[in-house]
Amino acid sequence: TKIGNPPLHAFFSGAQAPSLEKTSSPIHHLPDQEFIERLVTMGGTPKIVSDNNELMQILLPMLRADFKLSYLHKVEAKCYFNFPATVLYGNKDNFTSFDAIEAWQHLFSLPINISCVEGDHYYINSNKESVALYINEVVENILIDKAC
């Protein structure tokens, strides 16, 4: 059943395909302090944020929900999307392998673009400008193609 208009393009970043079995242990259920320590160890939460108890109390429910969804959600590899997609990942990512990035292709009927960026799982923190330029270029090309 076709519902509405599909996206013109989708972007995914630093995540294995949701059809794959998870290789890491869940952390969303950990006690607050242990959960925060894991966030800091992963490298994506600056110390200035993790040390701010008031801010962390605001962020914890959202972060837990994000990790829970990421860990528990799984789709079948036979679920196909019929629109283009780009998957970006860091070449030094210790959380996501290239095979797990390539597995996104099984979810799409069209070839996906895979873009490797210098850096770890949080490559975007040190490459904001180049990633934004890349995404803008992709979107610009889509808009040009759509206008023709």
Phi and psi at residue 22, to the nearest 5°: -70, 140
Q: CB under 8 Å to 125, separation ≥6 — which residues?
A: 44, 119
Question: How far, in Å, CA of 61 to CA of 58, rounded?
Answer: 7
Residues 88, 115 contacting (CB under 8 angstroms): yes
What does pLDDT average to over the chain?
Answer: 91
**Whole-structure pTM value:** 0.83
CA geometry: angle at 57 spanning 51 and 63, to 5°? Answer: 95
At 80-120, the pLDDT tens digits run 889 999 999 999 999 899 999 999 999 999 999 999 999 99
